[in-house]
Amino acid sequence: MPGLIHGLEAGRVAANLERVRERVGEGVEVLAATKYVPVEEMGVLAEAGVALVGENRLADLEAKRARWAGAFEWDFIGNLQSRKVKRLLPLCRLIHSLASESAIEQLRRHASNDTEVLIEVNVAGEPGKGGIAPADLGDFISRTPARVVGLMTMPPFSERPEASRPHFARLAKLAAEHGLPRLSMGTSQDWEVAVEEGATIIRLGTALYA
């Protein structure tokens, strides 16, 4: 597992961010995935012009937001544990990973009228991987008390970006079928393919920091 990233350079991050933004245009949000960015390095991202960050763990989100609350918009992109939904909701603008009945129940108890979520879909049908099956999507949306505004997926890892294309295309088709405008898909190794297939949010780490 990768370790924490130290020694981030604002100039390098800013240059990488600008290159990505030039490629994707105005219709795509660039989210900086900060799972491996320590609290003390978050200021470098703010200096570089990063506006949107995504955290994988509630504890890290709480710690980073406590220090840098006004510097960014905050999304949650990690595995959504139902027992943490109540604490998570006030901290982020958007949850990317709704995928369980227990999380739906917690949203029913604690979500407000303006709570927005993305549903995670396991488009490749990988065993043991998070996300609901595509065939279950319509029913899942109908039972979700929060506002479902889009879908998220993480395709099988591949060194070849093109290997992700059919999975991104399928997610885009599912979103269109259900009238959902947001698509969170694409990471550092395949974000360009994701954008070609309709991504509206790309989740980048190495592509910004290296």
| Boundaries of domain holding 205 | 10-209
Contact assessment for residue 122 and residue 132, using Cβ atoms and an 8 Å cutoff: yes
To the nearest whole number, what is the mean pLDDT of the chain?
97
Would you say residue 59 lies in a domain? yes
Contact assessment for residue 176 and residue 2, using Cβ atoms and an 8 Å cutoff: no
CATH (domain of 126): 3.20.20.10
| CA 33 to chain centroid | 8
What's the pLDDT at 3? 84
Which residue is it, tokens 């043991």? 128
State the SS3 of the chain: CCCCCCCCCHHHHHHHHHHHHHHHCCCCEEEEECCCCCHHHHHHHHHCCCCEEEECCHHHHHHHHHHHHHHCEEEECCCCCHHHHHHHHHHCCEEEEECCHHHHHHHHHHCCCCCEEEEEECCCCCCCCCCECHHHHHHHHHCCCCEEEEEECCCCCCCCHHHHHHHHHHHHHHHHHCCCCEEECCCCCCHHHHHHCCCCEEEECHHHHC
Would you say residue 5 lies in a domain? no
Would you say residue 22 lies in a domain? yes
Would you say residue 2 lies in a domain? no
Q: Which residues of the chain have pLDDT under 70?
A: 1-2
What's the pLDDT at 1? 45
Would you say residue 66 lies in a domain? yes
Q: Which of 68, 7, 57 is nearest to 33 (CA)?
A: 57
Would you say residue 1 lies in a domain? no
What pTM was estimated for this model as a whole?
0.96
Domain count across the chain: 1
